[in-house]
């Protein structure tokens, strides 16, 4: 039995080596500071450190802040960084320049655009007051949706993405959806669901936290109205990196954003007592930019120069598919339940599975240098960041996981 397993691992290792040798993105791994003793499969929670970041942060701290002091707001381009970095993110999510601004957290941006979207929908058609919310959403989106609904008086309607078309109606004002289910890794059809909402007369707000930087998004092409995204997952901006928000160009002057801070004023240094909104994406800023974390994200984006998102998606699907096939071969039958869809068109860039004692399983893997994460009660998640994850990493993780499951079930050594 052990001989059969060893032979299977040998075959899978040959497949992994062949795939890594042919990988057109393999050279990008050298642009990340990675511990070669660790298999890191949690880039869907916190991306790895790009080698471009430490030196840039040192320059910002020691020169721009240390020597330039307040002059750096203009002299070093700090003041315009939210829009400039937004324009760097734009190609990664399929947006033209001038539609993305970077700042605050994903949570703040979800609240900002939910309230703004509800107000805009009701202004266009007073009947459209309902807020449809993805019932599988990341919890904070749900919390903020309830707060936004209370603030605006909007009825809150939970809706599974697969049931959206049936739930849309002439009272629907805004639909808040996640592009990728954070728990299962299921990818929802953004163009189709956006079109369904548009045809029903509703606006769409997409949370791209688990897709931006992992796969092509195509915001402009799909006609998405609003979107938010995370800077510290697949974009590798570092812990607490600011998020981004996207507002389609033709909507920008129509939206009345609720967080009217001084940085979104038409003349922020005029110190006027009354608020006048800035034009363009700038009107979706609020307070003073988080310069250190913002410029860390800016430096992290250097790794994307010349990267073809089609290749990123191709590798993501190959990695996740290979990982699942390794588990199919190596893990005991019935030892886990795959939550992530096997079909390529329905899979993001993570693999989630359900198994007994998932917390203990993931703790044991981490002790062996394989880092994924656990979601209660019994979900194990493995995120595959195509810029730096290798096929050999996928096999190492699958081998370690299957060995742990075999030991737990009493069918092999720990």
Name the active-site residue from 112, 119, 183, 233.
Answer: 233
How many other CB atoms sit within 10 Å of the CB of residue 242? 27
Say which residue the tokens 């999510």 belong to.
Answer: 93
Burial class (CB in 10 A: 0-12, 13-18, 19+), 6: exposed
How many other CB atoms sit within 10 Å of the CB of residue 327? 22
Active site residue 138: yes
Task: Give the whole-angstrom CA distance, residue 382 versus residue 63.
Answer: 39
Name the active-site residue from 104, 181, 207, 373.
Answer: 207
Active site residue 207: yes
Active site residue 233: yes
Task: Give the whole-angstrom CA distance, residue 101 versus residue 301.
Answer: 15
Name the active-site residue from 32, 40, 111, 232.
Answer: 232
CA 283 to chain centre: 23
Name the active-site residue from 32, 40, 111, 138.
Answer: 138
Name the active-site residue from 283, 381, 404, 406.
Answer: 381
Q: Which residues are catalytic?
A: 138, 207, 232-233, 381
């Amino acid at each position: 039995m052990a001989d059969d397993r060893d032979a299977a691992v040998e075959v899978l290792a040959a497949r992994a080596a062949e795939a890594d040798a042919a990988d057109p993105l393999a050279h990008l791994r050298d642009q990340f500071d990675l511990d070669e003793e660790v298999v890191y499969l949690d880039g869907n929670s916190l991306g790895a450190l790009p080698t471009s970041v430490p030196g840039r942060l040192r320059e910002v701290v020691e020169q721009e802040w240390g020597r330039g002091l307040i002059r750096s707001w203009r002299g070093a381009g700090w003041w315009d960084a939210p829009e400039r970095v937004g324009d760097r993110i734009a190609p990664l999510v399929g947006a033209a320049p001038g539609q993305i601004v970077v700042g605050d957290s994903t949570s703040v941006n979800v609240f900002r655009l939910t309230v703004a979207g509800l107000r805009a929908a009701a202004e266009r058609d007073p009947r459209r007051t309902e807020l449809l919310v993805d019932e599988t959403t990341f919890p904070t989106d749900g919390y903020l949706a309830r707060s936004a609904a209370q603030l605006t008086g909007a009825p809150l309607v939970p809706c599974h993405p697969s049931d959206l078309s049936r739930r849309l109606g002439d009272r629907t004002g805004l639909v808040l959806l996640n592009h990728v289910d954070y728990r299962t890794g299921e990818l929802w059809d953004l163009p189709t669901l956006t079109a369904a909402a548009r045809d029903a007369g509703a606006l769409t707000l997409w949370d791209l936290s688990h897709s931006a930087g992992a796969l092509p998004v195509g915001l402009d092409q799909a006609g998405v109205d609003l979107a938010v995204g995370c800077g510290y997952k697949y974009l590798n901006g570092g812990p607490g990196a600011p998020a981004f928000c996207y507002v389609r160009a033709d909507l920008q002057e129509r939206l009345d954003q609720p967080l009217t801070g001084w940085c979104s004023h038409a003349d922020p240094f005029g110190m006027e007592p009354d608020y006048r909104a800035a034009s363009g994406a700038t009107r979706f800023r609020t307070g003073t930019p988080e310069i250190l974390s913002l410029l860390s994200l800016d430096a992290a984006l250097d790794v994307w120069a010349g990267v073809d998102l089609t290749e990123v998606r191709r590798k993501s699907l190959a990695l996740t598919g290979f990982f699942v096939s390794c588990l199919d071969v190596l893990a005991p039958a019935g030892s886990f339940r795959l939550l992530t869809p096997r079909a390529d068109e329905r899979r993001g860039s993570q693999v989630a599975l359900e198994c007994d004692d998932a917390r203990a399983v993931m703790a044991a893997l981490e002790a062996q240098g394989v880092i994924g994460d656990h979601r209660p009660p019994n979900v194990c998640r493995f995120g595959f960041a195509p810029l730096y994850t290798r096929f050999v990493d996928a096999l190492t993780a699958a081998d370690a996981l299957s060995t742990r499951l075999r030991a737990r079930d009493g069918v092999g050594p720990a």
